[in-house]
Amino acid sequence: MHKYAIFFVVLCAPLSAHAANDAELQTMREQIRQLEQRMQQAEASQPAEHDHAGSGENAFNPAVSLILSGSYGRLTQDTAIPSTGFALSPNNHGYSRSFSLKESELGISANIDPQFRGVATFALAPEGGSSVENAFVQTTSLGQGLNLKMGRFFSGLGYLNEQHAHAWDFIDQPLVYRTFWDNQLGDDGLQLKWLAPTDTFIELGTEIGRGRGYPGSNSQISNGAGATALFAHVGDDAGVSSSWRVGISLHQTRQSNWVSTNVPSKNGSLLSDSFSGDSNTAGLDFVWKYAPDGNTSETSFKLQGEYFQRKQDGVLTYDYTQPGAATVGANLSGNYSVTQSGWYVQGVYQFMPLWRAGLRYDQLDPGIAQVGATISANVISDYAYTPTRSTLMLDYSPSEFSRLRLQLAQDKSRADLIDNQVFLQYVMSLGAHGAHQF
Amino acid sequence: MQKILCIFLLLLASNAHAALNIFACEPEWAALAQELAGDKANIYAATNALQDPHHVEARPSLIARARGAQLVVCTGAELEVGWLPVILRESGNPDIAVGRPGYFEATHYVHMLEIPARLDRAEGDVHAAGNPHIQLDARNYPPIAQALSARLAELDPANAAFYNGRLQAFSSAWQSALKRWEANAAPLKGQPVLVHHRAYPYLEAWLGLKQVAELEPKPGMEPSAAYLAQVLGELQQHPARMVIRSAYQNAKPSEWIAQHAHVNIVALPFSVGGSPGAKDLFGLFDDTIARLLEGLK
């Protein structure tokens, strides 16, 4: 810039030199020479800041990303049958037979102003239609280790819950996530997290929301919070090669008129039941990651596990009839209380660059329900079955933006029905790709 | 009660005036900060030279360290785009947000090379702002040191004179070291080399090395057997003296090509701590040049 200015002055000098005499010209030349010298000095003494757009996800403002995913499934059992003992829970497994397009996920994020950042993720369903998966704003300048989120977000409880589907190590969620959280707990509300000012990672978080996601009932009848969650995470490195994080979570909500269809009863028929009552869940999670010298691009290993226990206590209406239904059921109500639990543990080993193999084991405990006398003749209290599943995975990632996966599973989550599953999947992302969480 | 409160507040206050906490993304910037801040700073290096700085996990320990940092010193140019944004966000520390005095990017102060004319992921892992591996040209350090020292003084004005003194000492030591390195490296000028990753344009520009081929088909993509065979074919026409890789990279591709093309392997420290000799920034360049000269033999 400076050089151009000097060049310009020098170019113009002969024009204005018309009337000037030699002495004046001489002075001007000397002045220009001095000016040039001063500028050179200034340039030399000051580190030049080179202009280029700042890096970070805001280099594209806003950052836009699109996840494309599809799968092929080969199953030996009907997918609609729920895990034994969990007919009152969601059974949204997220896969299907034959070829299918998975959800396409469109994400947009950017800083809004110096105080806020906004994130929105839209899930485009393969059958058409879209849903708002995440749409939240978060503070960026509270300081003191505080982060506040407002809007629709995945809850920070557990380890897997916050991860988006494209970051999962398997094509589907663990059974405990499918039955306890309808795959992923999302809510509309507030989340406040605080990071302790210590060298060890200690994070405390609390959430209140309307209870949009299961087991909440998305209630609109009360002005209060429909669900609350508390969680704590602690993590650190163990030497240069290992790092870990452990967590504990609590979740509390009230289910109101949660209707499940195809619930088995003692007489063998499949009927609709409705449950209303308190739902309290506690969870433990851990993850341990290992890479020689911390270099994850060659080989690495990840071990993670989570355990959740839920107590539901309320009233069950057996053979519930939806208002306006053609046939009227028994509509018998009685007390119903059950404590269920589930866990999984999985290991993923990157045995060479780009290639990973994983193994996962799932188990659920349906528990033994305390059933009130009015409905005990019909409602099953003890299924006497432990649903399990073993899953094997192999994936290949030509780059950090693309992944191809083979998954084999033996699903024994349904009594007397062994489902041998084969899946092929691709997951790819285009556009800005945000950094992944630990 | 009031006394206890007073003591507590005093402790907090004294803590606030203690040494600067510096979070360095890569070990070369930790080493530079050490040269410039001496014992006035607690310096934490987020990665080591055996880690690929493109692929680092946003580990809980990094988030915890960023929480208490007054200054983050990173390469920039999107080198840390896969992990740093999460750390800055989760740390709940607005002082180190991008654009604040507590956020320092070294690539802002040097002339960037290989700024792509076309941004397309089909070209592999390219960075819009240019090649981010600026740390292997020793001439890049004086402007970065000057800017970093000014930043230290801005954040900790009480020690401004101290930082300036350290800068002067570092700069004069660096100038004489530069002369030594350039004299020692004279035989490297014009030598054709083969590289694993496109990580050395600054080193090549400085020492006059001539890069004839890369082992990665596209930046950031693993070399395949088929591609290595192709590179081997190209070497018939454009022979190279040595094949260069960095400490964190897989040795197999360079070993294969070295065996088949009969060239020497040179494993460079790439950053401070990447070899036993690269104990500090001066050692990094002493060792780098010594290894390159060894590759000529």
Give the pLDDT confidence score for residue B143 in this predicted structure: 97
How many angstroms separate the CA of residue A152 from the nearest CA in chain B? 18
Tell me the pLDDT tens digit for each residue of B62-121.
Answer: 999 999 999 999 999 989 998 999 999 999 999 999 999 999 999 999 999 998 887 787
* pLDDT cut 70: percent of chain A above it: 86
User: Does the beta-carbon distance from B59 to A52 stay under 8 Å?
Assistant: no
Give the pLDDT confidence score for residue B79 in this predicted structure: 92
pLDDT bracket for residue A9 (50, 70, 90): very low
Of A119-123, A223-227, B17-21, B120-124, which has the strongest mean pLDDT?
Answer: A119-123
Give A118's contacts in chain B (Cβ within 8 Å). Answer: none
Tell me the pLDDT tens digit for each residue of B139-190.
Answer: 999 999 999 999 999 999 999 999 999 999 999 999 999 999 999 999 999 9
* pLDDT cut 90: percent of chain A above it: 68
Kindly state the DSSP code that residue B108 receives in the 8-state scheme: G
Give the pLDDT confidence score for residue A41 in this predicted structure: 54
The structure tokens listed for A169 are: 């190590």
Give the pLDDT confidence score for residue A297 in this predicted structure: 84
Of A50, A59, A200, the CB nearest to B110: A50
Tell me the pLDDT tens digit for each residue of B190-244.
Answer: 999 999 999 999 999 999 999 999 999 888 888 888 999 999 998 888 899 999 9
Mean pLDDT lowest among A3-12, A64-73, A412-421, B123-132: A3-12
How many angstroms separate the CA of residue B281 from the nearest CA in chain A? 20
Of A196, A201, A435, the CB nearest to B61: A201
Give B121's contacts in chain A (Cβ within 8 Å). Answer: 399, 401, 430
CATH 3.40.50.1980 placement within chain B:
2-178, 186-296
Give the pLDDT confidence score for residue A37 in this predicted structure: 63
Of B51, B95, B109, the CB nearest to A294: B51
Give the pLDDT confidence score for residue A12 in this predicted structure: 40
Give the pLDDT confidence score for residue A321 in this predicted structure: 80
Burial of A139 (0-12, 13-18, 19+ CB in 10 A): middle
pLDDT bracket for residue A50 (50, 70, 90): low
pLDDT bracket for residue B282 (50, 70, 90): very high
Give A195's contacts in chain B (Cβ within 8 Å). Answer: 63-64, 67, 90-92
Per-residue HEC secondary structure of chain A comes to CHHHHHHHHHHHHHHHCCCCCHHHHHHHHHHHHHHHHHHHHHHHHCCCCCCCCCCCHHHCCCEEEEEEEEEEEECCCCCCCCCCCCCCCCCCCCCCCEEEECCEEEEEEEECCCCEEEEEEEEECCCCCEEEEEEEEEECCCCCCEEEEEEEEECCCCCCCCCCHHHCCCCCCCHHHHHHHCCCCEEEEEEEEEECCCCCEEEEEEEEECCCCCCCCCCCCCCCCCEEEEEEEEEEEECCCEEEEEEEEEEEEEEEEEEEEEEECCCCCEEEEEEEEEEEEEEEEEEEEECHHHCCCCCEEEEEEEEEEEEEEEEEEECCCCCCCCCCCCCEEEEEEEEEEEEEEEEEEEEECCEEEEEEEEEEECCECEECCCCCCCCCCECCCCCEEEEEEEEEEEECCEEEEEEEEEEEEECCEEEEEEEEEEEEEEECCCCCCC
Give the pLDDT confidence score for residue A172 in this predicted structure: 95
Of B81, B89, B112, the CB nearest to A50: B112
More confident residue, A21 or B101: B101
Give B105's contacts in chain A (Cβ within 8 Å). Answer: 54-55
More confident residue, A33 or A103: A103
Q: What is the ipTM of this complex?
A: 0.88
- CATH code that applies to domain B186-296: 3.40.50.1980
- Give which of B11, B55, B61, B250 to mutate to test A binding, by max A Cβ within 10 Å: B61
How many angstroms separate the CA of residue B18 from the nearest CA in chain A? 15
- Beta carbons of B88 and B106 less than 8 angstroms apart: no
How many angstroms separate the CA of residue B194 from the nearest CA in chain A? 21
User: Does the beta-carbon distance from B81 to A57 stay under 8 Å?
Assistant: yes
* End-to-end CA, chain A: 45
More confident residue, A325 or A365: A365
Residues A329, A330, A334, A337, CA torsion sign: negative
Whether the pLDDT of residue A436 is over 90: the answer is no
pLDDT bracket for residue A402 (50, 70, 90): very high
Whether the pLDDT of residue A31 is over 90: the answer is no
Tell me the pLDDT tens digit for each residue of A228-279.
Answer: 999 999 999 999 999 999 999 999 999 988 999 889 999 888 999 999 999 9
How many angstroms separate the CA of residue A213 from the nearest CA in chain B? 24
Give B59's contacts in chain A (Cβ within 8 Å). Answer: 235, 237, 243, 289, 438
How many angstroms separate the CA of residue A146 from the nearest CA in chain B? 5
Average pLDDT over residues A185-195: 96
Task: Indicate the pTM of the whole model.
Answer: 0.87
Whether the pLDDT of residue A406 is over 70: the answer is yes
User: B2-178: which CATH topology?
Assistant: Rossmann fold (3.40.50)
- Beta carbons of B31 and B280 less than 8 angstroms apart: yes
Tell me the pLDDT tens digit for each residue of B22-61.
Answer: 999 999 999 999 999 999 999 999 999 999 888 899 999 9
Of A140, A233, A237, the CB nearest to B61: A237
